[in-house]
A = this chain, B = another copy of it.
Amino acid sequence: MLRIGKMTDYGIVLLSHFAKAEQASAMNARELSVSAKLPLPTVSKILKLLSRADLLVSHRGVAGGYRLAKSASDISVAEIISSLEGPIAVTECSAIEVGLCDMESVCPTRTHWKKINVVVRKALEQLTLADMVTSASPRPRLSIALGKTT
């Protein structure tokens, strides 16, 4: 089913709130919890992760809060996913390097994941937070050209 976690779902929702009110510099976790109707601890957790990944800038203290670290069109969906769920990889054995998976000698084509990952990651890098907020473009026109190097 190619699942991405709920955390990423929430993350995009929260980031969308920032993107829509980009002028309002700072929003704190409680405000967002109310406006997004998500539990506060969960919101805090996600905002934390997003700021650690430099998608949000945090400001602590009394009048603190979070704000978008860069323009919504400069934040790719790939970035959002990898900050909330780790590197984009379809299975463990292709996240890092070759040679970790001890079954590599057994299965002749465990390299297939690398190919799949490349395709998926490229696709997600094209989508930005700005695209997510745009209610227009019901179906983004998309063409993928896949040429082999052989």
Q: Which residues of A contact B (CB under 8 A)?
A: 1-6, 9, 12-13, 16-17, 20, 36-37, 77, 81, 85-91, 95, 103, 106-113, 115-116, 118-120, 122-124, 126-127, 131-150
Partner of A119, one of B5, B123, B133: B123
What copy number does this chain have within its complex?
2
Residues of B within 8 A of A146 (CB): 126-127, 131, 140-142
Q: List 14 A-B contacts (CB under 8 A).
A: A1-B85, A1-B88, A2-B4, A2-B90, A4-B90, A16-B108, A37-B106, A77-B116, A126-B144, A131-B146, A137-B148, A137-B150, A138-B149, A143-B145
Q: How far is the CA of A96 from the CA of B97 in the complex (A)?
A: 36
Contact across chains for B145 and A142 when beta carbons are under 8 A apart? yes
Using CB atoms, name the residue of chain B closest to A94: B9
Q: Which of A2, A118, A136, A147 has the most CB of B within 10 A?
A: A2
Contact across chains for B132 and A140 when beta carbons are under 8 A apart? no
Q: A1-B85, A1-B87, A109-B16 are contacts. A136–B148 as well, Cβ < 8 Å? A: yes
Min CB distance A117 to B, Å, is 8
Q: A107-B13, A110-B13, A119-B140 are contacts. A3–B148 as well, Cβ < 8 Å? A: no
Q: A118-B142, A122-B142, A126-B119 are contacts. A136–B108 as well, Cβ < 8 Å? A: no
Residues of B within 8 A of A141 (CB): 146-149
